Amino acid sequence: MEMLTTRQAAERLNVSIATIGKLIRAGEIHAVKVGHNWRIPADALTAYLARPAEPEKPAGASTPEEKTNDE
């Protein structure tokens, strides 16, 4: 199994290392902590890319948490 550093994963996805960290913390990309460093299985990147994209929220649209009840 090929394991990637966060830098290698970022290069493959064409995103920043910080973005890889956010995806790992959010649980969107599986990673393994080795000492103080993260290692990402190459298969985890493939699985992440294969996921269907979430639809974008229209500008100005609110979520149920953002709505207030002003009765």
Rounded to whole angstroms, the Cα distance separating 52 from 16 reads 21
Position 69 scores a pLDDT of 58
Residue 20, token pair as written in the block: 């890889």
71: pLDDT strictly greater than 60: no
pTM: 0.71
Position 61 scores a pLDDT of 63
Q: Where are the domains of the chain?
A: 3-50
**Residues 20 and 6: beta-carbon distance below 8 Å:** yes
Rounded to whole angstroms, the Cα distance separating 55 from 58 reads 9
**For the segment 43-64, what is each residue's pLDDT rounded down to a tens digit?**
999 999 998 887 776 767 666 6
**Residues 6 and 40: beta-carbon distance below 8 Å:** yes
